């Protein structure tokens, strides 16, 4: 179900489960192997996208959930822990991870996208959201908690409790995604190239500081910042970048920082 390709040192993971691109238990297991394969390629960034037209990962297969009701009762709340751990593993990768949301992105599809650092939605008549309450359940793969940390409690209550689905432009206005593009995969590759041009240790440490400190009180969060700053500062990329900057005439330095 997962194909792994390398494009200019960017690992592209493509999920294809026609006709609807629903996620399943097999898809979750294969995602773990796909991440292993991708890491062996030593990429500078990772992109996840859909391989079925107009679908990213539509949502989890509801037929499979219904068929597994007895097992759900038997295993209890910890039964979904494996899926949460898989998305935690994705979120913890020490490199930029981009969701190229190439169509409908609901339920587990959005939970996976929320575990990525950047979300780029395809422009079109697509829907994005967590509609599980309409099915009598709630998002179980940490999507609620990640949405709270992205949008805050008020917006999450509105979207999750009402099972609201958004268009790509509405999702952008809410701050749920970062960009709407005509071609989400192409836009993701452009973003990955931009990130790859930056010192890699600094990018990884910025990610560590942002996620590692956001749920801590200030003193503990500052310790996370200090450690991440030191690890970035002693990396060769930092010396090279700063030397390039100070070699510029004063009047050219702002343009260099602007990156455009």
% of the chain beyond a pLDDT of 70 = 100
- Residue in 119, 2, 98, 15 with CA at minimum distance from that of residue 59: 15
Residue 113 and residue 212: Cα distance in Å, rounded? Answer: 19
In the prediction, which pLDDT does 211 show? 94
Q: What is the 3-state secondary structure (H, E, C) of 144-162?
A: HHHHHHHHCHHHHHHHHHC
In the prediction, which pLDDT does 239 show? 85
pTM summary value: 0.91
In the prediction, which pLDDT does 79 show? 76
Contact 229, 205 (CB under 8 A): yes
In the prediction, which pLDDT does 138 show? 93
Q: What is the mean pLDDT of each run of 10 residues along the chain (260 residues)?
A: 96 97 95 96 97 95 87 78 93 97 96 98 96 92 94 96 95 98 98 96 95 88 88 88 91 85
Ranges assigned E (strand) in the chain: 2-7, 10-15, 45-50, 97-101, 105-106, 118-122, 128-129, 165-166, 179-181
In the prediction, which pLDDT does 12 show? 98
Q: Tokens in use for 73?
A: 């009762």
Contact 59, 73 (CB under 8 A): no
All structural domains of the chain with their residue ranges: 2-196, 200-258
Specify the CATH number of the domain 2-196: 3.90.226.10
Q: Is the omega angle on the peptide bond into residue 19 within 30 degrees of 0, that is, cis?
A: yes
Angle, vertex CA 7, rays to CA 4 and CA 8, nearest 5 = 140
């Amino acid at each position: 179900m997962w194909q792994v390709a390398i494009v200019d040192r960017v690992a592209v993971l493509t999920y294809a489960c026609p006709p609807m691109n629903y996620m399943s238990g097999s898809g979750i297991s294969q995602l773990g192997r796909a991440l292993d394969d991708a890491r062996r390629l030593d990429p500078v960034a990772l992109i996840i996208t859909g391989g079925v037209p107009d679908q990213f990962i539509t949502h989890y297969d509801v037929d499979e959930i219904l068929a597994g009701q007895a097992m759900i009762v038997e295993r209890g709340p910890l039964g979904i822990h494996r899926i949460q751990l898989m998305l935690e593993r994705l979120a913890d990768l020490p490199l930029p991870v981009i969701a190229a949301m190439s169509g409908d992105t609901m339920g587990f599809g959005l939970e996976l996208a929320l575990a990525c650092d950047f979300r780029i939605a395809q422009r079109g008549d697509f829907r994005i959201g967590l509609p599980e309450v309409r099915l009598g359940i709630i998002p179980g793969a940490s999507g609620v908690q990640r949405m709270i940390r992205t949008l805050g409690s008020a917006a999450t209550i509105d979207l999750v409790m009402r099972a609201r689905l958004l268009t790509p432009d509405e999702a952008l206005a809410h701050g749920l995604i970062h960009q709407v593009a005509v071609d989400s995969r192409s836009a993701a590759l452009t973003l990955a190239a931009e990130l790859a041009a930056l010192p890699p240790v600094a990018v990884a440490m910025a990610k560590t500081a942002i996620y590692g400190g956001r749920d801590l009180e200030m003193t503990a969060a500052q310790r996370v910042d200090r450690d991440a700053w030191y690890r970035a500062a002693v990396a060769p990329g930092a010396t090279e970048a700063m030397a390039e900057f100070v070699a510029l005439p004063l009047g050219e330095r702002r343009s260099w920082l602007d990156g455009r």
